[in-house]
Structure 1
Amino acid sequence: MGELTSWRDGPTKQAIEAFVAGLDERAVPREQRVAVFDNDGTLWAEKPMPTQLHYLLQQWAAAASADPSLAQAQPYAAAVSGDFAWLGGAIDKHYAGDDSDLHAVVRAIVRTTDGMSVEDYEASVSDFYAKAHHLTLKKPYSGAVYQPMIELLRYLEANGFTCYIVSGGERDFMRPMTMEYYGIPPERVVGSALGLQYTDDGTVRYGSELAFLDDGPEKPVRIWTRIGRRPMLAGGNSNGDVPMLDYTSGLRLLIHHDDDTGRGDVPYDKGAEAALAAARQNGYTVVSVKNDWSRVFPD
């Protein structure tokens, strides 16, 4: 049931199929078949920058245009100048355990939505998805999803799994597209969250604080809080996914971006060094983009 047509025959594809077949042989009930997947770099391309950062840069540039004093500080200065090295460094430092620059990014993220209704934010994000194109692939973000991972979602569902997204990305930024792009409804999206409050006009609005960052050790906590089960299968690609993978009771997939063949997914290990080391120590199944996927993106 389900077809992994974009997966090359080999040990990785065999490991997936053998794991699912073993559940059938043991008659593992459907309700226990929970799979969780990171988003950026796992289900779609995260280079040259995560999709949400592309959206935020547009918002920060507009904010700095309205209030030029903002352009004197990061990350607004990067949005105005187009020099994104500082932002890339902030993300790299986060994966290395240093959040000194990330705090400025979080403050700017919160400021973007402070006081906005959840419906207005959803409309803004949906408009972005309708118009924006991936910066290097030059096609809509719907074409930047990884075709083999979409097939894996369908394969698992055909075999009784319920699939969730568990991402460090912001939950309400992902929700407007997950059903169309991945076939995963918004109620199965777990991510970082901005603070919310109910106001007297009958509206849910964003507040002035980040509620939590769903990365690293926070991921297992959010999985339990939202799902109430330990996953039987998980997929990730970065250092921040290691706790989620270790929390998983069965098959643990680590996407390794090693494809140097020019198919659009640039090779990189930065931000995944600890995950690759953990794969050797903890027995993850490493998915080679170069060797395990016969194609990367949808036609």
Structure 2
Amino acid sequence: MRSISNRFFYAIVVLLNVFAAGSICAQQYRPIATWPDETNARIEEFLNTTLTVTDRKVAVFDCDGTVFGQAPYYLADEALYDYADKNYKNRKDKESRQKMAILDRMVKDGNNVGKPYVEDRVHFLSGMTPEEIATLGYDCYMRSYKGKMYPEMKALISNLKEYGFEVWILTASPEFLYQRFVASELGIPVTHVLGVKGVVKNGVMSDEIIMPIPQDDGKAQVIPTYIKAVPLIVGGNSRGDMDMLNESRGLKIVVNPDDVTVRGKEDGPMSGHTVKSYWEKEGALIVHCNDVRDRNVSFKTADFKIRTNLENPKK
């Protein structure tokens, strides 16, 4: 009896090993057609090194300019300025005057990647329900940004899911504004889209902001605060993503990095470099996605004289 039991036990072990091996082999990389062979080879090689990882496999990406286009304006700005133009501009009631005062402050600031500016986006949306804000963002995406989600990044994210990765998106835009359309387009949980958080009170968003703000060093702080794992892959596109990218313990991916502006002393280790030259020095994977203005779309942001983002035609 003991001999039969032992043979049965070993047979089960063999079968389990076969199933485990088959499961690993089933995770197959699908090359991204418009990226060079060497880029695909590097991604595939890295993903194959994660096959035996047994704890959480996490990938974190910036949003605007990293997973979808930001030319000529950030979607967060377009959604707010368009809404203000339709609902508050030239009106004399108290709410309209208060909301336009916030917008006037934002326009005067002009630094739409600075923390005071991104905080004011939340202040502008205060008083609306999360559902109303999500609809505002989704409608803006469908109206002015549909088709600007980078197909290469969608393909990359599909590969990451195949390899068992959790995919998270970090944005300096209001969280409720981006969650619905980003989650829908990328096929990830709504809760995996993290942005600037406003406290919800009595069913509406207040102007009280929950720290950290996912901008500059705040993006790096969001990862342990909310994701609670050290990412194997981090992707970004700008100087503001430097701290977040340095949280990666594996692959760093930089999309359409600027190669014109030489950063100053205030940019720390990036001082004396362009974004591209810095990340080339650091061994990051540089990739390119097409981001050009759709000339058939009229952007209300233009009326408020907000600076445009550079176009990045696919090379």
The residue type equivalent to 1:165 in the other structure is I
Task: Please tell me whether residue 28 in structure 1 is matched to residue 49 in structure 2.
Answer: no
Give the distance between the partners of 2:178 and 2:262, measured in 1 at CA: 24
Q: 1:26-46 CA distances to partner (integer Å, 9 max, x unpaired)? A: x112x4311011110000001
Question: Is contact 1:36–1:166 with CA below 8 Å preserved after alignment?
Answer: yes
Question: Is contact 2:234–2:251 with CA below 8 Å preserved after alignment?
Answer: yes
> Larger relative contact order (C-alpha < 8 A, sep ≥ 6)?
1
Q: Please name the residue that 1:90 is paired with.
A: 111
More displaced 10-residue stretch of structure 1: 177-186 or 281-290: 281-290
Go from structure 1 to structure 2 and tell me whether the alpha carbon gap of 1:198 and 1:208 turns closer, same or farther (over 3 Å shift).
Answer: closer
Picking from 120, 125, 140, the partner of 1:113 is 125
The residue type equivalent to 2:196 in the other structure is S
TM-score (norm 1): 0.73
Give the distance between the partners of 2:169 and 2:97, measured in 1 at CA: 38
Deviation of the 1:2 alpha carbon? 4.6
Give the distance between the partners of 1:238 and 1:43, measured in 2 at CA: 12
Go from structure 1 to structure 2 and tell me whether the alpha carbon gap of 1:161 and 1:234 turns closer, same or farther (over 3 Å shift).
Answer: same
Q: Please name the residue that 1:179 is paired with.
A: 183
Q: Please name the residue that 2:89 is paired with.
A: 64
Structure 1 unaligned regions, length at least 5: 80-85, 134-140, 259-266
* Structure having the higher Rg: 2
RMSD: 3.1
Deviation of the 1:225 alpha carbon? 1.4
Q: Please name the residue that 1:284 is paired with.
A: 284
Give the distance between the partners of 2:286 and 2:214, measured in 1 at CA: 23
Deviation of the 1:278 alpha carbon? 3.2
Secondary structure of the equivalent of 2:158?
Answer: helix
Seq. identity, %: 23
Q: Please name the residue that 1:127 is paired with.
A: 139
Structure 2 unaligned regions, length at least 5: 1-27, 264-269, 291-312
Deviation of the 1:129 alpha carbon? 3.5
Please list, as runs of the form range in 1=range in 2, the aligned pairs for 1:132-171 lying within 5 A after superposition.
132-133=143-144, 141-171=145-175
Give the distance between the partners of 1:233 and 1:149, measured in 2 at CA: 13
Go from structure 1 to structure 2 and tell me whether the alpha carbon gap of 1:191 and 1:105 turns closer, same or farther (over 3 Å shift).
Answer: closer
Question: Is contact 2:60–2:168 with CA below 8 Å preserved after alignment?
Answer: yes
Go from structure 1 to structure 2 and tell me whether the alpha carbon gap of 1:46 and 1:270 turns closer, same or farther (over 3 Å shift).
Answer: farther
Question: Is contact 2:183–2:193 with CA below 8 Å preserved after alignment?
Answer: no
Size of the aligned set, in residue pairs, is 252
TM-score (norm 2): 0.70
